[in-house]
Chains A and B, each alone.
Chain A
Amino acid sequence: MSETLLQAEGINRFYTVRTGLFGKSATVRALSTTSFNLQAGKTLAVVGESGCGKSTLARVISMIEPPGQGSFTLDGTTIKADEPAASEIRSSVQLVFQDPYGSLNPRQKISQILCEPLLINKPEITAAQREEQAREMLQLVGLRTEHYDRYPHMFSGGQRQRIAIARALMLRPKLLVLDEPVSALDLSIQSQILNLLVELQDKLNLTYLFISHDLSVVKHMADEILVMYLGRVVESGSTEEIFTNPQHPYTQALLSATPVADPTLEKNRIQLEGELPSPLSPPSGCAFNPRCWLAQDQCKKESPELELQGTHSVSCHFPQRC
């Protein structure tokens, strides 16, 4: 049994927005009470549609924003709602973003991009050591050392994503938050980056929080999955269990809506009606009830709790067990 690197207990994050110039303020429940564990060296995938709170979770875990309530423990240090996290612990979580064209400064050379984290967080390191570490990192992510003095525009999308990964790894983080790392890339490049991520995880014993909406990528990469809907976790469990025995109707719909690259496959699609409700005015009871084909009176009144059953937990009044 490997040790637990990240343990989140009831973290949430609400935002207050004003509606209109003189409108009343309203609360967006971007992330409601979420708890999960992540073992060191494993990959936890967070899946869900846009607006389900995936990225808010990433921002809270990477300490860009403090949790509104609750706390999480990262590698032995607890981060609470009202205390700003110490800078040492911040450097053990790093982010890789979706768009490699937007996330690298076009005016910085690769050398500057890679050395900046060291310059800020480890001022005691000499310039020569920084350069050495940066060149090593370039080789580790599959780029050549002669790329060191070039600018981002001279690289293709896949290479830029490698640079973004290298930058994230410069401070030797334990946890890497990957926010849709391959969805902006072409298929043939996507597999190169996924292979790189698998390789790095083995070599450096990294832990990944993998945010994605592409279920085929998630199935390949993840050890455990968190399915989110409108800021809530609706189902969580091991990858195998989620894919073979999904119990929440939303998870089932999501799995059936994902196109499979096999034309001979018999399609048995659950068509979801409507769209994600606004997080400003979530429906009463279960958040999924307006789109759920199994919804009953109870679903409209009571919000279901996340019930744990072994390693698999579901938040539904009428889970579909087989």
Chain B
Amino acid sequence: MALLEVNNLTVEFKTSQGPFRAVDSIDVAVGANDVLAIVGESGSGKSVSMLAVMGLLPWTATVTADSMMFNGVDLAGLDSKQRRDIVGKDMSMIFQEPMSSLNPCFTVGFQLREALKAHLPLSRRERKHRAVELLEMVGIPEPTKRLGAFPHQLSGGMNQRVMIAMAIACKPKLLIADEPTTALDVTIQAQILELLLELNQQHDMALVLITHDMGVVAETAQRVSVQYAGQKVEEQSVEALFATPRHPYTHALLAALPERATGKMLPSIPGVVPGQFDRPSGCLFSPRCEFATELCVKEVPIANSDDPTSVRCHYPLGKSASVA
């Protein structure tokens, strides 16, 4: 059984102009030692879907799902106290901006020990010992000294390591990393990704990586789920996705990568991601899709939820190419 299994997750926000559907019937399944990447442009609902799983959305959000099982517990049925026992312990999250996710008023040591105090029955001395151990684990030099440092005294890469140390403090079964390296330089990015993969392999920790960087996906993930305007359009293993993308959106996205360009002009996707008020009828990608027909404009394509490789498209690529 999968560690995290979410079926038909929908998140709607109340806005002054009416409800806005940020996430539209998404299925997520993460196995015990998986590395799943969720890819999409801004506004594709990739962060919101994972925040919904963590229960971190504001009150304006309405989360509905057929089932939301994590480690045998139904997340949807929990009250806030029971949820707090799981979030931060068995399931934790790191965010994009390490500088703004840490509290500037407290030392990193205090913030790290706070996470331990909330979840584990450790004494004061044990907590300090564990904090040093954690900082060492994420590769921070002179960990004992660094416990007394404030976030502004550390660099972005170091702060992100502190965030990771906090997230893995209680040995979580699932770590959700929301754009963990977007704010960092490439050489530091390589170090952080290496660290996350190492934790995934050595500590049996499942990893969900939310990103928009196709390069990061190719180098770290095992499976990739592609989202567009709140919907999951396809999910494949990483090799298959890069070799034979089946949804036209994925195909166009990969073709737009500068490193795959053959000429001076890049193949680009016309238009922009639909917003709250210009959602097209039928397939959400149809206005930008080069293969769109009348059927795509009229009817919403539905992926077969029993078939994990199915694609939310009337005319998936790959299959039709072999026929033609």
Taking Cβ atoms with an 8 Å cutoff, the residues of A that contact B are 49-50, 156, 158-159, 186-192, 194-195, 198, 213, 215-217, 219-221, 253-254, 256-265, 267, 269, 271-272, 275-276
Residues on the B chain within 8 Å of A261, using CB? 214-215, 217-218, 242, 254, 257, 259-260
Residues on the A chain within 8 Å of B194, using CB? 271
B266 within 8 A of A: yes
Q: Report Cα–Cα, A265/B239, bound state, in Å.
A: 10
Residues on the A chain within 8 Å of B217, using CB? 261
Residues on the B chain within 8 Å of A191, using CB? 256, 258, 266-269
Cβ-defined contact, A259 with B187, below 8 A = no
* Complex: chain B residue closest to A273, CB-CB: B191
Cβ-defined contact, B191 with A272, below 8 A = yes
Smallest beta-carbon distance A201→chain B, Å:
10
Q: Report Cα–Cα, A71/B33, bound state, in Å.
A: 58
Cβ-defined contact, B259 with A257, below 8 A = no
Residues on the B chain within 8 Å of A271, using CB? 190-191, 194
Cβ-defined contact, A217 with B258, below 8 A = yes
Q: Report Cα–Cα, A107/B264, bound state, in Å.
A: 37
Residues on the A chain within 8 Å of B190, using CB? 256-257, 259, 269, 271-272
Q: Which residue from B42, B239, B256 sits with its C-beta under 8 Å from A264? A: B239
Residues on the A chain within 8 Å of B272, using CB? 156, 158-159, 189
Q: Which residue from A192, A216, A259 sits with its C-beta under 8 Å from B268? A: A192
Cβ-defined contact, B187 with A263, below 8 A = no
Cβ-defined contact, B155 with A259, below 8 A = no
Q: Report Cα–Cα, A254/B258, bound state, in Å.
A: 18
B265 within 8 A of A: yes
Cβ-defined contact, B259 with A216, below 8 A = yes
B283 within 8 A of A: no
Cβ-defined contact, B259 with A260, below 8 A = yes
Residues on the A chain within 8 Å of B185, using CB? 49-50, 213, 276
Q: Report Cα–Cα, A259/B194, bound state, in Å.
A: 12
* Complex: chain B residue closest to A259, CB-CB: B215
* Complex: chain B residue closest to A49, CB-CB: B185
Q: Report Cα–Cα, A258/B233, bound state, in Å.
A: 27
Q: Report Cα–Cα, A293/B258, bound state, in Å.
A: 31
Q: Report Cα–Cα, A301/B34, bound state, in Å.
A: 48
Q: Report Cα–Cα, A254/B188, bound state, in Å.
A: 10
B253 within 8 A of A: yes
Residues on the A chain within 8 Å of B212, using CB? 186-187
| Residues 218-250 of chain B, each 1 if its beta carbon lies under 8 Å from chain A, else 0 | 110000000000000000001100110000000
B252 within 8 A of A: yes
B97 within 8 A of A: no
Residues on the B chain within 8 Å of A217, using CB? 258
* Complex: chain B residue closest to A218, CB-CB: B258
Smallest beta-carbon distance A128→chain B, Å:
33
Residues on the A chain within 8 Å of B268, using CB? 188, 191-192, 195
Q: Report Cα–Cα, A253/B187, bound state, in Å.
A: 8
A187 and B257 contact, Cβ closer than 8 Å, known pairs A194-B266, A254-B186: yes
Residues on the B chain within 8 Å of A195, using CB? 265-266, 268
Cβ-defined contact, B258 with A272, below 8 A = no
Q: Report Cα–Cα, A259/B193, bound state, in Å.
A: 10
Cβ-defined contact, A198 with B215, below 8 A = no
* Complex: chain A residue closest to B269, CB-CB: A188
> Which residue, A158, A194, A198, A261, has most C-beta atoms of chain B within 10 A?
A261
Q: Report Cα–Cα, A256/B194, bound state, in Å.
A: 13
Cβ-defined contact, B42 with A220, below 8 A = no
Q: Within residues 246 to 297 of chain B, which ones have a CB less than 8 A from any CB in chain A?
A: 252-254, 256-261, 264-270, 272-273
Cβ-defined contact, A259 with B218, below 8 A = yes
Residues on the B chain within 8 Å of A257, using CB? 186-187, 189-190
Residues on the B chain within 8 Å of A269, using CB? 190
B216 within 8 A of A: yes
Smallest beta-carbon distance A254→chain B, Å:
6
A187 and B41 contact, Cβ closer than 8 Å, known pairs A195-B266, A220-B259: yes
Q: Report Cα–Cα, A260/B213, bound state, in Å.
A: 10
* Complex: chain A residue closest to B41, CB-CB: A186
> Which residue, B186, B191, B264, B273, has most C-beta atoms of chain A within 10 A?
B186
A216 and B242 contact, Cβ closer than 8 Å, known pairs A188-B268, A261-B217, A263-B218: no
Cβ-defined contact, A260 with B218, below 8 A = yes
Q: A50-B185, A159-B272, A261-B214 are in contact. List 6 more A-B contacts (CB 8 A).
A: A188-B252, A220-B259, A257-B189, A259-B186, A261-B242, A275-B158
Q: Report Cα–Cα, A187/B267, bound state, in Å.
A: 11
Residues on the A chain within 8 Å of B214, using CB? 187, 261
Residues on the A chain within 8 Å of B243, using CB? 264
The 3 closest A-B pairs by CB, nearest first: A259-B215, A220-B258, A191-B268
B157 within 8 A of A: yes
Residues on the B chain within 8 Å of A50, using CB? 185
Q: Report Cα–Cα, A17/B253, bound state, in Å.
A: 45
Residues on the B chain within 8 Å of A187, using CB? 41, 212, 214, 253, 256-257
Smallest beta-carbon distance A172→chain B, Å:
23
Q: Report Cα–Cα, A187/B261, bound state, in Å.
A: 13
Cβ-defined contact, A272 with B187, below 8 A = yes
Q: Report Cα–Cα, A49/B253, bound state, in Å.
A: 26
Q: Report Cα–Cα, A217/B266, bound state, in Å.
A: 11
Residues on the B chain within 8 Å of A156, using CB? 272
Q: Report Cα–Cα, A195/B256, bound state, in Å.
A: 11
Cβ-defined contact, A198 with B219, below 8 A = no
Smallest beta-carbon distance A275→chain B, Å:
6
Q: Which residue from B213, B219, B259 sits with its C-beta under 8 Å from A219? A: B259
* Complex: chain A residue closest to B222, CB-CB: A263
Cβ-defined contact, A275 with B155, below 8 A = yes
Q: Within residues 76 to 124 of chain B, which ones have a CB less than 8 A from any CB in chain A?
A: none
Residues on the B chain within 8 Å of A192, using CB? 268-270
